[in-house]
Structure 1
Amino acid sequence: MSNVLDELTWRGLVAQTTDVEALREALESGPITYYCGFDPTGPSLHHGHLVQLIVLRHLQLAGHNPIALVGGATGLIGDPRMSGERVLNSKETVAGWVERLQAQASRFLSFEGENAARMVNNLDWTGELSAIDFLRDIGKHFRLGTMLAKETVARRLASDEGVSFTEFSYQILQGMDFLELNRRHGCTLQTGGNDQWGNLLAGVELIRKSDKVAVHAMTTPLITKADGTKFGKTEGGAVWLAPDMMSPYAFYQYWINAADADVVGWVKTFTFRTREEIAEIEQSVAERPQAREAQKILAGDVTTMVHGERATAQAIAASSALFGRGELADLDPETIEAAVAELPSTEGGVGTSIIDVMISSGLVASKAAARRAVAEGGAYVNNIKVTADDAVLTADDLLDGRFAVLRRGKKTLAVVRVAQQ
């Protein structure tokens, strides 16, 4: 317990705290009960939530008592965004998302033992709360000046769209969550992203004013890339944790492609490797960057944490097989589909000329170039060398009856998709 705040700081997981010495003393004297909230504004958690889940896990491993809150109530409202008013989702949709997010968050915590985690839903204490009781018991402790000064609110008020009373009230609801968890479970620390600092302070102040109790707040910094581009940005949007929104293969690929300038910091933040192990990883990046050992450790650890060992093994096998270091036919259909999803593609089928699909997929520019690749031994179908320029696709070439992977040389890939009838 005594070193957990220092450990989180070393790993780049602390941006701001309320009285840091008081928080340190509380953590060292522990165990304390702490929480982080996750709003179901979509059907999956993403890379930003992953940072918070890792903080929850570090604190639990240090002996403290975690509460993961999935906001069935706050998810119906939505935290104000810089870009404009959120679309309000139906109660049924939000309830379904609550269940999905609870299942995802549960993977990161232990619900057994002396410091077993709790999973809670803030709809349990807001669903039956009357408007009069809300205004009398909670609203009276909030001052408009403070609420209006919140950066997101101030910016939205200055925009043409403004901000609705619904979203403006969000910070009161989040503050009430901290109050309820403090009263119900003795919770004295709330964690969250640094963009939530104002909301976290709303809870700290509400508890101080209503119950005369001192509690703590701690935020994580925005994770960035060394080149200044946004962390977590992909062609498909966010780095989702749900496998039906981002396949384990695509998830693994995001981390394996980390830049050398980012990878050591990300290993600190997103894995539970020891300081000694990370020192060795940092040395390998400096001395043998071409081996990409750090990227393999990062991708393997994070994918295993989110999706499990089997999915990680399949993702690693797919990465190797695509480039001729494994058997594509050994992969399950879902992994094959995920592995070829981003490749240039063309349609074909049994009897289609391999020369023709090499051209139509963009693998080569002309028949002459295709024939030259075959003659030089640099054309492959499913990692099997093409030896004749009149070769055609056969039924045996089709993976799961739907795909054939083309490769020119060592690294240039494309996929043939069987035209659907």
Structure 2
Amino acid sequence: MTNYQSDLLRLLDDRGYIHQLTDADGLDKLASETIVPGYIGFDATAPSLHVGSLVQIMMLRRLQQSGHKPIVLMGGGTTKIGDPSGKDESRKMLSPDDISNNIASIKRVFDNFLTFGDGPTDAMMINNADWLDSLGYLDILQDIGPHFTINRMLTFDAVKLRLDREQPLTFLEFNYMILQAYDFREMSRNLGCRLQLGGSDQWGNIVNGMELTRRVDGTQLFGLTTPLITTADGAKMGKTAGGAIWLNGDQLAPYDYWQFWRNTQDADVGRFLRLFTDINIDEIARLENLQGAEINQAKKILADAATEMAHGKDAAKAAADTAQKTFEQGQAGGNLPLCEVSSGEISILEALVNIGFCASKGEAKRMVAGGGARINDEQVKDAGAMIAITDQDIKISAGKKKHGLLRRPAKTI
């Protein structure tokens, strides 16, 4: 731990967010003396962000909690190009309508984590399409092109990774880092933004923006990145066998979100409590030192706190109640994933696929063969088994942690 003077850097340091910092003393002094506007950019490549973006959202929350101004920059312009950082191949091109719809959907997430308004420390959301869309190609080449060299750009990890693996890097994507640097300069000029935060893969892009603004405007800016968040077994945060852990409730049910956090590995509990909840540091120290079966209580507290932050108190309580009924009382909780079956029966393979537990019938067949499929807690051994649908809910399980309900649709009058 470093002896920082500002509430901002003390908070970020205490909770484990700091990986790289361009000028620790300079930012520490600035944050001690004045309100610092800081931003993170998010491209709109899907209708929701996922848990892999949550540490960045939490950084903006910490910025606001320590008395500074968070700025959410939506990449309505840069999404048209695609950030090559950490990507092995080019992204699919999205239409302007797709990008606009994705931004509208993503906005709902930030309302749960930040307080927006017109005050000095209230959060604001802006879209870089507001300035990038109006730029003429020759204008931007003349304006900022001379401040970038191909030699240096070829040294950046995002470029080297693609070239080393002999994967194509389009000229369009190659321009992404230039436009991100332009974003930082634009926000410095128009909003007084002095700080850009991001994941460790954004370090080169952040430094580019700082250097461009220093050379053109003579303004000192700051950059701060977080470490790559992985689980104790080395897996990338937010990537699971069942797919991405989305933050929007219409992309992933709050119950499944709660379960994701409840299934945290023992070794990750303390770190995740620091990064992804507002629980007091002293209480976290107590929880992470629990041993044996008691660590499960800490995991439930993590799941409750994380789900409440993303989906609200009612959704978190419903998820916890459902989990208790399902796992501790052996009942089928009412908040489980639901598959309505209009016919009188359904095959076990179709049921596992339709409820989302398996991606294909082949995967479902392997689930049955491995003994992981259960109906009303009874193991299904025959991949050709048919399930009779009655007026009573039927509990379907895949493994020990995935549970859902098969139900006849309600009659309409």
Which residue of 2 is the match for residue 60 of structure 1? 64
Q: Deviations over 1:95-125 (max 9, x none)?
A: 1111112222232111134411111000001
- Deviates further, 102-111 or 178-187: 102-111
> What one-letter code is carried by the residue in structure 1 that aligns with 2:149?
R
Which residue of 2 is the match for residue 252 of structure 1? 258
| 2:269 aligned with 1:263 | yes
Which residue of 2 is the match for residue 388 of structure 1? none
Which residue of 1 is the match for residue 102 of structure 2? 97
SS in 2 for 1:191: strand
| 2:395 aligned with 1:405 | yes
Q: Deviations over 1:45-76 (max 9, x none)?
A: 11121101101011111110111001100011
Q: Is 2:277–2:306's contact at 8 Å kept on the other side of the alignment? A: yes
SS in 2 for 1:323: helix
| Shift in alpha-carbon separation, 1:33–1:412, aligned structure 2, 3 A | closer
Which residue of 2 is the match for residue 354 of structure 1? none
Which residue of 1 is the match for residue 7 of structure 2? 3
- Take 1:176 and 1:416, find their aligned partners in 2: how far apart are those partners? 51
> What one-letter code is carried by the residue in structure 2 that aligns with 1:220?
T
Q: Is 1:15–1:194's contact at 8 Å kept on the other side of the alignment? A: yes
Q: Deviations over 1:108-157 (max 9, x none)?
A: 11113441111100000111111111111122221221111111212323
Shift of residue 336, structure 1, vs aligned partner? 4.9
Which residue of 1 is the match for residue 221 of structure 2? 215
Q: Is 1:70–1:120's contact at 8 Å kept on the other side of the alignment? A: yes
Shift of residue 418, structure 1, vs aligned partner? 5.3
Residue correspondence of structure 1 range 145-160 to structure 2 within 5 A: 145-160=151-166
Residue correspondence of structure 1 range 254-403 to structure 2 within 5 A: 254-283=260-289, 285-286=290-291, 289-290=293-294, 292-323=296-327, 325=329, 328=332, 331=334, 336=338, 341=355, 363-364=378-379, 395=391, 397-398=392-393
Shift of residue 290, structure 1, vs aligned partner? 3.5
Gaps of 5+ in 2: 341-351, 362-372, 383-387
Larger radius of gyration: 1
**Over aligned residue pairs, what C-alpha RMSD do you find?**
3.0
Shift of residue 321, structure 1, vs aligned partner? 1.9
Shift of residue 307, structure 1, vs aligned partner? 0.9
Q: Is 1:13–1:55's contact at 8 Å kept on the other side of the alignment? A: yes
Shift of residue 180, structure 1, vs aligned partner? 0.6
Shift of residue 294, structure 1, vs aligned partner? 0.9
Q: Is 1:361–1:416's contact at 8 Å kept on the other side of the alignment? A: no
Residue correspondence of structure 1 range 126-275 to structure 2 within 5 A: 126-275=132-281
Shift of residue 219, structure 1, vs aligned partner? 0.4
TM-score where L is the length of structure 2: 0.82
SS in 2 for 1:149: coil
Q: Is 1:70–1:101's contact at 8 Å kept on the other side of the alignment? A: no
- Take 1:247 and 1:59, find their aligned partners in 2: how far apart are those partners? 28
> What one-letter code is carried by the residue in structure 2 that aligns with 1:29?
E
- Take 1:56 and 1:77, find their aligned partners in 2: how far apart are those partners? 25
> What one-letter code is carried by the residue in structure 2 that aligns with 1:66?
P
> What one-letter code is carried by the residue in structure 1 that aligns with 2:378?
L
